[in-house]
Structure 1
Amino acid sequence: MLYLLQVKLGALVGLLCLTLFFGFIPARVKWFRDTNGTEIHRTVLSLISCFAGGVFLSACLLDIIPDYLSDMNAELEARMVEPGFPLPEFIMAAGFFMVLILERMVMSCRHTGGSQAERAPLLQANEHGHGHGHGHGTATSRDLESSGHHIHVDLQAHSSFRSFMLFLSLSLHSLFEGLAIGLQRTDSKVLEICIAILVHKSIIVFSLSVKLVQSAVRPLWVVAYIGVFAVMSPLGIGIGISVMEAQLASGTLIQAVLEGLAAGTFVYITFMEILPHELNSPERQLLKVLFILLGFSVMAALSFLG
């Protein structure tokens, strides 16, 4: 039993250190934060962002949603509850609409209470297009943004809120991953799950950091987000160890409901922010789709092997 505890504590430290390392690469390296570089530099940043979008799409469809549905259905079956209604999917939809309503409220307050200068980015593009370097400053690209592609500019205006919700949903999922480690009863299973999470989370935190530094989030807050995100899995391990000692009866049900809300949040962020953010700009559409597919394929391969 003591050896099992030592293995769990080792997994806790390993997850914390590696997550911080991979998360701070985009956050601290100036190359990732520079949006006014050459065209090649902007293109590479855009393709990295597309790769991250593919990673999040895969995490959404192949990891977060299946894990939640499996846990929730198992919990309902264990309690012998047959709601006669798609309750797990309803909880996930509640998470989706929760973010949608909150975001619309934030945007409504910003429009009614903000000054004209605060709303200016919604109405006109700057000299570098989107502010992320996706445009080239030409009249053609500005015309596209002001007509069929104005949504891309609008996303930039409130991307800090969506970045926070992305961080929150991933942090909750990360907490539950750590909880899975803390609840294991054999050291071999702890090591198996820990290695899978280490690989998975390293790519996720790198992608999250890329998205944060390319949004309106201040550098200090990016560091704070990554630091908190890195702590979530170790915190989950600690909670799992405590739950094993306390033997809480309703702990798994509470976890399943929270996981469902987080899944709905992640669905919203993936399909309303991450993918449209790149695909609504007209440049290099096919190449961007290929990099989204590459990010998806990498995570799908890891899921298949794991």
Structure 2
Amino acid sequence: MVSTAKLSSAGILFAIGIISGLAIPFLSIQCLMKRYKTAASDTVFRNMLAMLNCFTGGVFLATSLLALLPEAHTQMNLALNSPNTSMDTMLKHGREHMKIMSYPMSELLTGCGFLLILFIESIAVMCHQNRHRGHDELLSTASPEIKPIVATDDDCHGFTLYQAAKADKMQNNQGMPNVSTERISDALTIEEATGVSSEGMTNLHNIVLLVALSIHMVFDGLEVGLLQRDEDVWSVLSALSLHNILIFFRMGITLCESTSTRNFITAMIYMSLVSPIGVGLGILVTSDGENVVMETISAVLQSIAVGTFLYVAIFEIIMKEFQTVSYDNRVVKAVAVIIGYLTLCVVMYVMA
């Protein structure tokens, strides 16, 4: 019988995507844009996002090390010691079996999952940068004096709202036109979620970037679907929900401002379905618990999914926040990460 917790988690993840990525940005975009008009209000807003991101990074790190990795290790041991393995196979390949048993297979596959996402995102970034570099060279050839308002990936990590407000103020002092709100809204880009900038949904390369982000969410949902205990499902879902709320909200703000309403709705519905699909795949894999092949597949996929969680925690959240200029106090950010880590530690201890 399919776990009620898993089915509920799929529905919750979909609802989070629709509400935080589609409904809230669409209804509140005008109010948010008014806040972006001054550097002071922008600083407060971005500091809040930075602290929430750091807290989420600590929660994800604790989830990966304290919940998911031990669970993956346990599942791998159960698969390797499955009673369904024939005695003839054990006797025939006894030495090889013992060698595999002593080898850290779950940790190996966790590293593979980490490196897999790193490789996929590196390819996506390279494709995007090649397209963006060619576009900049074309502009510089047509008019060497024209420079892009939004800095490229080669110039800085991203074009922040605070920088936009400063540029707006400088241009006003010089009697020049204001920076358009469309340029300012580019600060909350998918670059914060995927590591690259995005100008809209109409370009094929930007769709590739969305696919790269969706791979994260597939494995995130897969991790929920592969878990065996309801307690682990709710623990992972709590960490995943907070991360998804931030990602969907920022993506929704960006797409609502930079593309048509139709493309915006289509993109957010697609992204909202990705994690539930991952949960469904995990449920299918674990549906036949008596089959040694399915047990092995479940253990392998779960170990790989742990690697994706670690990647998101380290590269997509913690390291990226410490590299951005949105909040200069690194000590406060480190404290936020520690608080997030300790929060999940306490929650797991209470639920144990």
Pairwise same-fold verdict (TM > 0.5): yes
In 1, Cα distance between equivalents of 2:249 and 2:107? 32
In 1, Cα distance between equivalents of 2:118 and 2:284? 32
Partner residue of 2:197 out of 132, 139, 157: 157
Give SS of 2:195's match.
helix
Match of 2:158 in 1: 130
In 1, Cα distance between equivalents of 2:106 and 2:5? 31
1:209-248 map, 5 Å: 209-214=245-250, 218=255, 219=264, 220-230=266-276, 232-233=278-279, 236-237=282-283, 240-241=286-287, 243=288, 247-248=290-291
In 1, Cα distance between equivalents of 2:7 and 2:347? 22
Partner residue of 2:299 out of 256, 259, 271: 256
Match of 1:14 in 2: 8
1:4-43 map, 5 Å: 8=2, 10-11=4-5, 13-27=7-21, 28-30=23-25, 34=32, 37=36, 38=41, 39-43=43-47
Cα contact 1:122–1:153 (8 A) shared by 2: no
Give CA deviations for 1:165-192 in whole Å, capped at 9, x if unaligned.
Answer: 3212212202212xx2xxxxxxxxxxxx
2:62 equivalent to 1:53: no
TM-score, normalised by the number of residues in structure 1: 0.71
Corresponding residue pairs, total: 269
Give CA deviations for 1:54-92 in whole Å, capped at 9, x if unaligned.
Answer: 222222212222211221123223355432543332222
Give SS of 1:121's match.
coil
Give SS of 1:108's match.
helix
Q: CA deviation at 1:255?
A: 0.8
Match of 1:189 in 2: none
1:139-158 map, 5 Å: 155-157=195-197
Match of 2:72 in 1: 68
Give SS of 1:302's match.
helix
Q: CA deviation at 1:196?
A: 5.4
Larger radius of gyration: 2
Give SS of 2:62's match.
helix
Give CA deviations for 1:246-305 in whole Å, capped at 9, x if unaligned.
Answer: x42311001111112222233223222211111112523222222222222222222222
2:350 equivalent to 1:305: yes
Match of 2:88 in 1: none
AA aligned to 1:157 is S
Pair 1:287–1:10, CA change in 2 (3 A): same
TM-score, normalised by the number of residues in structure 2: 0.63
Q: CA deviation at 1:18?
A: 3.4
Give SS of 2:123's match.
helix
Match of 2:130 in 1: 112
Give SS of 1:214's match.
helix
In 2, Cα distance between equivalents of 1:122 and 1:153? 14
Give CA deviations for 1:213-251 in whole Å, capped at 9, x if unaligned.
Answer: 33598454344223332354466456645x25xx42311
Give SS of 1:157's match.
coil
- More deviation, 202-211/28-37: 28-37
Pair 1:300–1:291, CA change in 2 (3 A): same
Cα contact 1:200–1:302 (8 A) shared by 2: no
In 2, Cα distance between equivalents of 1:32 and 1:167? 25
Match of 1:98 in 2: 116
Gapped regions of structure 1 (runs ≥ 5): 140-150, 181-192
Output the aligned Cα RMSD: 3.7
Cα contact 2:58–2:336 (8 A) shared by 1: yes
In 2, Cα distance between equivalents of 1:85 and 1:196? 25
Cα contact 2:67–2:232 (8 A) shared by 1: no
In 2, Cα distance between equivalents of 1:76 and 1:172? 21
Match of 1:169 in 2: 219
2:327 equivalent to 1:277: no
Match of 2:152 in 1: 121
1:81-92 map, 5 Å: 81-83=98-100, 85-92=103-110
Gapped regions of structure 2 (runs ≥ 5): 86-96, 138-147, 168-190, 199-208, 256-263
Q: CA deviation at 1:40?
A: 1.6
Give CA deviations for 1:35-69 in whole Å, capped at 9, x if unaligned.
Answer: 86322222212222222222222222122222112
AA aligned to 1:175 is G
Match of 2:335 in 1: 290
